[in-house]
Amino acid sequence: MKRILTIAAALCLAVALFAGTAMAAGKLKVAGIYTQPIQQKWDACLHKALQKAADAGEIEYVYSEKVSNTDYIRVLREYSEKGVNLIVGEAFGISRDVTKVAKDYPDVAYLMGDSFGPRGDNLSVFDNYIHEPCYLMGMVAGKMTKTNKIGMVGGYPIGECNRLFNAFMAGAKSVNPDVQFKVSFIGSWYDPPKAKEFAFAQVESGVDVLYAERAGVVDAAREKGIIAFGNVNDMNKEENGKDVVVASALWSMDAAIGHAVQLVKAGQFKAEDYREWTMMAKGGASLSPFYEFEDKIPADVKTAVARKADEIKAGTFTVAIDDAEPKSTF
């Protein structure tokens, strides 16, 4: 009997300790599921935001990386079964299956990258709406090109890439009506050698400015002695872009993750579109510093960009969200 009581006491202590380190301490159990390695910058943006929340003591965080679409639903269900409160991941290409999982686990909150809208009561969606700083970069690029030809190398011609290219092109055209564009997609999310090859071809066609939506383009710009503009992460500092990358359109999921965590804690999570949480007004998007290019950009251009940024944040200027596939103009 004494042995049974000892075991029971130990079990109670374990439960108490778990509660003390999780919900009782205000922490949520959160899981991230990524199709790419967490070093890949799109997934890295999610991972960094969740890790930051974990480091601040807000959540308990676990993750799985390099999960293929064919295995994704199994992993999603496993986390849902384990009592995770919030799952952050991607539903691109498997939206219908993810929707079914969310319906099967109504007590779990899902925040998924998705091209479609929110569904049911517990499936919220997001995407990287950094088109606003892309417009600002376009303004700078339009004034810095000497050949009036700008190259753009992206992954796939889908909404999340198209809207960035279209905004960049609109920003450049707003300050330089004569500028032309060469648009290429490499058919991969991560293939630096291929992106570099496409960038070389664009330089041969006469471009003297490159928009590096994919990794590998900055290296091409460096080798060819031209400038580039970065995407999602700070490519000047993180992708060997010193003296090459003028600025980058930055994406942060900190605000979006913070919003989701607070709603789950309050028992108020619902299906909604997190678009606004990835835009400039909410701090989800921004333009990086100009670093060593600070004194190389004309003062009037920097003033115009700063003014436009203020207008975007205030809601007095709207950068159009255009998900149509952009086309080369020369």
Gap between the Cα atoms of 284 and 132, Å rounded: 11
Model pLDDT, residue 19: 37
Question: For residue 170, how many other CB atoms are within 10 A of its CB?
Answer: 18
Which region among 6-15, 188-197, 202-211, 313-322 has the lowest average model confidence (pLDDT)? Answer: 6-15
Query: Burial letters for 29-53: b for 16+ Cβ neighbours within 10 Å, e otherwise?
Result: bbbbbbbbebebbbbbbbbbbbbbb
Q: Is 80 exceeded by the pLDDT of residue 117?
A: yes
Q: Average pLDDT in the 296-300 region? A: 96
Taking each continuous run of H as one helix and of E as one strand, the counts in the chain are 11, 11
pTM of the model as a whole = 0.88
Read off the pLDDT of residues 24-74 as tens digits, 9 standing for 90 and up.
456 899 999 999 999 888 999 999 999 999 999 999 999 999 999 999 999
18 pLDDT above the threshold of 70: no
Predicted pLDDT of residue 24: 40
Q: What percent of the chain has pLDDT over 70?
A: 92
Identity at 136, one-letter amino acid code:
L
Which distant-in-sequence residues (6+ apart) come within 8 Å of 181 by Cβ?
A: 149, 150, 151, 152, 169, 172, 326, 328, 329, 330
Q: Is 61 helix (H, G, I), strand (E, B) or coil?
A: strand
**Backbone angles phi and psi of 9, in degrees to 5:** -65, -40
Contact indicator for 227, 246 with CB cutoff of 8 Å: yes
Structure confidence at residue 115 (pLDDT): 87
Under 8 Å between Cβ of 46 and 126:
no
Confidence of residue 189 (pLDDT cuts 50, 70, 90): confident
Q: Classify residue 3 as exposed, middle or buried by CB count within 10 Å of its CB (0-12, 13-18, 19+).
A: exposed
Q: Supply the pLDDT for residue 26.
A: 61
Task: Give 244-263 pLDDT, tens digit per residue.
Answer: 999 999 999 999 999 999 99
Between CA 263 and CA 330 the distance in angstroms is 49
